[in-house]
Amino acid sequence: MQSSNLGLTDLKSMNILIVDDEASNVRLLETLLDVAEYKNLVSTQDPRNVLALCRTRAIDLLLLDINMPHMNGYEVMEQLHVLGEEKPVVLVLSAQSERNYRHRALDSLALDYVVKPFDTHELLSRIRNLLEVRRAQTYMRHQNQLLEQEVHKRTQELTDSRLEVVRRLGRAAEYRDNETGLHIIRMSKIAALIANASGMSNVQCELLLNAAPMHDIGKIGIPDHILQKPGKLTADEWQIMKTHSQIGAEILEGDDSVLLLTAKEICLSHHEKWDGSGYPHGLDGEAIPLMARITALADVFDALTSVRPYKKAWDLADALALIREESGKHFDPRLTGHFMSVVPEIIDIMGDHQEPSTE
């Protein structure tokens, strides 16, 4: 049923299930509904078939007797609760006129209760009313689904926009140090590879992949004459250079999204060292956030094998030798082992995102 088509004729196409162990009662209801031009009727004299019929035919209205063999009407209604929002509306048709029967039915799943023998015009009116209720339920459920889809879409758009801002900010910082921006692509992919090898979940690996590009955003606040100096920095210049980790954390301050909280953590701590000799806070061992430890390893390796204004690119063998040498000093030794286990994949990343030739 289309949610935009709310004419009365739609009611005639809704699915009605008749359940009564007496064949004559079933035929009477079928004839009555057929004359009233209801098109989709199904019936059974065995109440044990009801649940299966509701699952296969998407029944909208159930006309249900109470006293039947094998299962009574109350048991049928109890069984239908497993269908959740898909369960039909129920109209009980029973010869039992006692108030307790009516109360029990209405306290179960029934929305209406008609005593046999019934008035034909009244019954058709009640059927129409209950089908209106069902149609309204279906319409509202459909609208809620559309709303949920729209919320999901908008949330995804917001997430995508935030990711794009994060990437562009990371790219802006990197542009001052490496104008192709390929360093942050390589190192973030290498970081995610190490994370995966260490047993982190796909969600965590994806988070690291998206947060790691922000690791050096604080370099925006470092003067060019220091950041791009071709020679060794003076002691004072080095002190200024080291402030980029704190600057980066401050730039990302004030947002409570998991992405930016992780990026802030990486900014602040990716220059800490396993032995406590790093900066800005001299953290050591597992006191250094795991995401920052992984980023440090990926960042140093890619920096070693990349050209910088102040150095040439190292050979792969020399860079790997330094990583091994710094295991347990600069780097988490467990992560170093995971790094070494994925060197072939790291080489592939380097090949896929290599710097353009300067020739």
Catalytic residues: 219
The pair phi, psi for residue 68, each rounded to 5°, is -140, 155
Residue 351 one-letter amino acid: G
How far apart CA 158 and CA 174 sit, in angstroms, is 24
Tokens of 131: 């089908």
- Cα angle 354, 267, 353 (rounded to 5 degrees) comes to 10
How far apart CA 106 and CA 96 sit, in angstroms, is 14
The pair phi, psi for residue 284, each rounded to 5°, is -135, 160
Of 269, 265, 287, give the one whose Cα is nearest residue 278: 269
Tokens of 161: 């926009």
The sign one gets for the Cα dihedral 39, 90, 71, 117 is: negative
Pairing of strands 89-94, 61-64: parallel
Tokens of 79: 């069984």
